[in-house]
Amino acid sequence: MKIGMVFHKNPLAAASSIDLIRLRAISKGLVNKGMETEILAPVEKESCLDGVVPVRRLSSLKSGSYDIVKTCYHFSIDLTCGYEGPIVSRIVRVVDDRLPERDETMREELLKSQTIIRDRASFVVVNNGENEERWHTLYGPRPPVVCVPTGCPSVIPLPEKNPFDPHEKAILFLGSIAAPRMIMIINEIARRLEGVARVHFIGTDKSHLYDKKKGNDLSPLVIQRGAITEERIWNYIFHACIGLAVATGPHPFDNDMSKIFSYLRGGLPVLSEEPIINNALIRETGFGLTFQHDNMEDLIEKALLLLQNPPLEKREAVMTFMANEHSWDCRVETYAKLFRALVN
């Protein structure tokens, strides 16, 4: 079996965002299971990812004799022209004619991609049951939908020197800022907890992609560390006191936060806003607290509780649980079974 992973940007860039982290983990995992796997991307020169996964030009789709092609995002389906075999299409969230509101500027293009996926894909992959239900509501039972949640590494680097000021408690916000409201909440928690804890942001502000108006900037009280490679991120997770997760808006299907998997895998207590879907993991492990949507008083109260009484006695057990039950290896196994069933 030969699998082609269609990706929309340079797969050889530093793995500092979840899309590249996921691509590397899944593609390398499939190769390690003995499944011939190549990445197909808009690159000028063919190469190899970490010496394991070949990276080919998109033109290889027509001549590469792939048994299955997997796309990674809505617009990846546009890159599969010329390939006539089975396609497995993964999308992050299902868009309809009204929700999510933050996708308004791209709604027409996203709906067009979903129509193509409906007509072309053999399977659709989503992260959670909420988006599975939305897909079936919009498009019916075909193509079938499979849930493959975000994962985390089974092995992470050992901690090194504390990257934070040892005289300050660190609240870590990891990942992209994907809605203007996130900036307001991060700024407010930084202001309200000044002198108690410092907020650190690792990632990229992408709020402008969803709101063309000029938004607020992050407060000078927030320390911005930029995009950092996954290997280095684990040291920040280990030494922080709280991992913060803020919702993009009020709808659960639009709030699947991969950062919660990383926080828990790294042994960092989580403070997460409702209605983030992954809060179920926080409740299951008892390793953190959730706060009410749009309730700053509840956020501050829960933050202080975690800062004063972190559940560190559960740390090792939570880290082991995440490695065993939610590793990328588990997700690769799901994909491998799906691909084998589809080909056979």
Distance CA 13, CA 140 (A): 38
Hey, what amino acid is at 317? A
Q: What pLDDT, on a 0 to 100 scale, did the predictor assign at position 210?
A: 73
Look-up: residue for tokens 């997760």?
Answer: 245
Distance CA 143, CA 187 (A): 43
CATH of 169-324, one of 3.40.50.2000, 3.70.10.10, 3.30.465.10, 2.60.40.10: 3.40.50.2000
pLDDT per residue, tens digit, the chain (344 aa), is 999 999 999 999 999 999 999 999 999 999 999 999 999 999 999 999 999 999 999 999 987 789 999 999 999 999 998 899 999 999 999 999 999 999 999 999 999 999 999 999 999 999 999 999 999 999 999 999 999 999 999 999 999 999 999 999 999 999 999 999 999 999 999 999 999 999 999 999 887 777 655 556 899 999 999 999 999 999 999 999 999 999 999 999 999 999 999 999 999 999 999 999 999 999 999 999 999 999 999 999 999 999 999 999 999 999 999 999 999 999 999 999 999 999 88
Q: What pLDDT, on a 0 to 100 scale, did the predictor assign at position 263?
A: 98
Question: What tokens appear for 268 in the block?
Answer: 């960092």
Distance CA 138, CA 95 (A): 9
Residues 170 and 198: beta-carbon distance below 8 Å = yes
Q: What pLDDT, on a 0 to 100 scale, did the predictor assign at position 246?
A: 98
Distance CA 116, CA 104 (A): 19
27-59 burial, b at 16+ Cβ within 10 Å, e below that, comes to bbbbbeeebebbbbbebeeeeebeeebbbbebe
Q: What pLDDT, on a 0 to 100 scale, did the predictor assign at position 64?
A: 74
Residues 95 and 138: beta-carbon distance below 8 Å = no
Going by C-alpha positions, the residue among 262, 265, 128 that lies closest to residue 203 is 262
Going by C-alpha positions, the residue among 13, 339, 260, 324 that lies closest to residue 24 is 13
H or E element: which one contains 137?
A: helix 129-139
Distance CA 236, CA 4 (A): 34
Distance CA 3, CA 20 (A): 18
Distance CA 183, CA 206 (A): 11
Distance CA 320, CA 208 (A): 37
Residue 201 bridge partners (DSSP) = 173, 224
Q: What pLDDT, on a 0 to 100 scale, did the predictor assign at position 51?
A: 95
Q: What pLDDT, on a 0 to 100 scale, did the predictor assign at position 304?
A: 98
Q: ∠ at Cα 207 (6, 259), nearest 5°? A: 65
In three-state form (DSSP H/G/I as H, E/B as E, the rest C), the secondary structure along 230-248 is HHHHHHHHHHCCEEEECCC
List, by residue range, all CATH 3.40.50.2000 domains of the chain. Answer: 2-151+327-343, 169-324
Question: What tokens appear for 133 in the block?
Answer: 């239900």
Q: What pLDDT, on a 0 to 100 scale, did the predictor assign at position 86?
A: 95
* Peptide linkage before 11 cis (omega within 30 of 0): no
Q: Which DSSP state fits 219?
A: P
Residues 237 and 262: beta-carbon distance below 8 Å = yes
pTM of the model: 0.95
CATH of domain 2-151+327-343: 3.40.50.2000
Residue 123 bridge partners (DSSP) = 88
Question: What tokens appear for 15 in the block?
Answer: 């793995």
Q: ∠ at Cα 340 (118, 7), nearest 5°? A: 55
Look-up: residue for tokens 């599969």?
Answer: 80
Q: What pLDDT, on a 0 to 100 scale, did the predictor assign at position 66?
A: 95
